[in-house]
Structure 1
């Protein structure tokens, strides 16, 4: 099974579950979708948001609906970014938590862009040439590369809070908080400047996956009925899957390349 397929399916399933959680709870994803509680029609908008994630996630699972689903989720996550997170950064530019939240959504936009750029052809509908090919892939990778250092800085600024999430059986909790923060920054710089980009993107995806497995799965096991825990797991899973999609976009590029890789299309299951 190809890495590109695994990343896409995980990305799709995480979005699908997030959508179902919103539909059944009639609420937005906690913290991640900071919609004002007094917004008129909030419950209806939450269900509409959930429906988009559910339909988009299901569409990403199938090759025949992949192109329109990728475009739908690209548009949806970009709207999510511009309406919910960018204003928070503008209003509180000195709060790193707002930058970190913004960066997490950028990783989703980047992954959707990679999927669309990699598989859309003139024969597909809808087709936008400017969003396909080598240039679009480079822009998407750069967006991902800019986002993950902001997540790393958040780990460093809120090191104590990050350390509190480290599993109790691991030693040096604060050390892990600093290590992961620095690793996020290093991976982003490596991808941005094409210094071992395939290796950097893959290690970044593995690190995010480790966080999902070590932090959120035990939380689900301890509190299986809490919506917050399931939402946190799916958020962590979809970000991890976004990392795998970006890593897979390097295709057959050498692991130890120090120059710009070839920008070929990702081979996806038909």
Structure 2
């Protein structure tokens, strides 16, 4: 359903561009919140500037629908090389952000898959198979991240409760409720018949967090690095889930994934 895929692509691209700008601000590749590495400072900055420029260029390409597949794959490659690979050796120390970086990588694959079918003449058995691999891989990584995040809402309930703005009542309830929603969404995107609804509702939930949680937190803490990244990440993930919902809403496309 293009009514979901197109705005989802734009949301994803804007979120990635925002994270790319933060790469310039913090002079490091921060997409997926990778741990610090031992490169010389100047080299770290060079990597940040080059990768940030590529991310912005790729984001623009996705928005204007020019070589969107290559642009999405470039984003996926940068996240894998400069975030996922940095996380893996320190997985036990920062497992949730490891899952986040993997989910962003998978999300880029999902977005990229939607461009493969833009030219009907290229819709052959091979491209369909490639597209399905991208989507299934992305779904697996998104699901893992959502389930892990839901678990974190229970394990670190006190932190999550304090993270919710004070103007929202019953914060402890919402902390647990959102944890349940995350787990349900992560599992639901793999259940035939409800996967499209799980994706759509997850996108709506993340958009709600962007508006009700992350914007107020950024206003309250405009220089906080975590809140800046959280704002961009929530918008990026919302876009990914809208794209996924658009894919799954097409019965023919969804059937090929099961």
TM-score class, shorter: 0.7 to 0.9
1:61 counterpart (53, 60, 63): 63
Shift of 1:79: 2.2
Question: Counterpart in 1 of 2:254?
Answer: 261
What's 2:78 paired with? 76
Match of 1:39 in 2: 39
CA deviation vs aligned residue, 1:173-202 (integer Å, no higher than 9, x gap): 111111111111111112223351111111
Whether contact under 8 Å (1:104, 1:239) holds in the other structure is no
Question: Does the C-alpha gap of structure 1 residues 103 and 195 become closer, same or farther in structure 2, counting only changes over 3 Å?
Answer: farther
Q: For the structure 1 residues 166 and 225, does the alpha-carbon distance in structure 2 shift closer, same or farther, using more than 3 Å as the test?
A: closer
CA deviation digits over 1:188-236, x for unaligned, max 9? Answer: 1122233511111111111122111111111232344555533321122
Higher helix share: 2
**Contact 2:32 2:79 survives alignment (8 Å):** no
> CA separation in 1, counterparts of 2:34 and 2:141?
20
What is the rounded CA distance, in whole Å, between the counterparts of 1:53 and 1:238 in structure 2? 13
Q: Do residues 100 (structure 1) and 93 (structure 2) align?
A: no
Larger mean Cα displacement after TM superposition, 158-167 or 140-149: 140-149
Q: Give 1:210's match in structure 2, choosing from 208, 211, 216.
A: 208
User: How many residue pairs end up in the alignment?
Assistant: 249
Taking the aligned partners of 2:102 and 2:247, their CA distance within structure 1 comes to 17
Say which SS state the counterpart of residue 132 (structure 1) adopts.
helix
Query: Within the alignment, does 1:115 sit opposite 2:111 as a pair?
Result: yes
Whole-Å separation in 2 of the counterparts to 1:112 and 1:24: 23
Greater mean alpha carbon deviation, residues 142-151 or residues 219-228: 219-228
Q: Distance in 2 between matches of 1:35 and 1:52?
A: 21
Where does 1:186-205 land on structure 2 (aligned, <5 Å)?
A: 186-194=184-192, 196-205=194-203
2:28 aligned residue: 27
The 1:205–1:31 alpha-carbon spacing in structure 2 relative to 1, beyond 3 Å, is closer
State TM-score, norm by structure 1: 0.80
Find the residue that maps to 2:81 and give its secondary structure: helix
Contact 1:34 1:84 in 2 (8 A): yes
Q: 1:27 to 1:134 in 2, by over 3 A?
A: closer
Query: What is the alpha-carbon root mean square deviation over aligned residues?
Result: 2.8
Residue matched to 1:9:
10
| Cα offset, 1:159, TM superposition | 0.9
SS in 2 for 1:2: helix
Residue in 2 aligned with 1:142?
140
My pick for the range that moved more, 41-50 or 202-211, is 41-50
Structure 1 residue ranges without an equivalent (≥5): 255-259, 265-270
- Where 1:32 maps in the other structure, the secondary structure is coil
Q: How is 1:111-190 mapped onto 2 (pairs within 5 angstroms)?
A: 111-120=107-116, 129=127, 132-190=130-188
After TM superposition, the structure 1 stretch with the greater mean CA deviation from structure 2, 223-232 or 69-78, is: 223-232
CA drift at 1:31: 7.7
Q: What residue number does 1:268 align with?
A: none
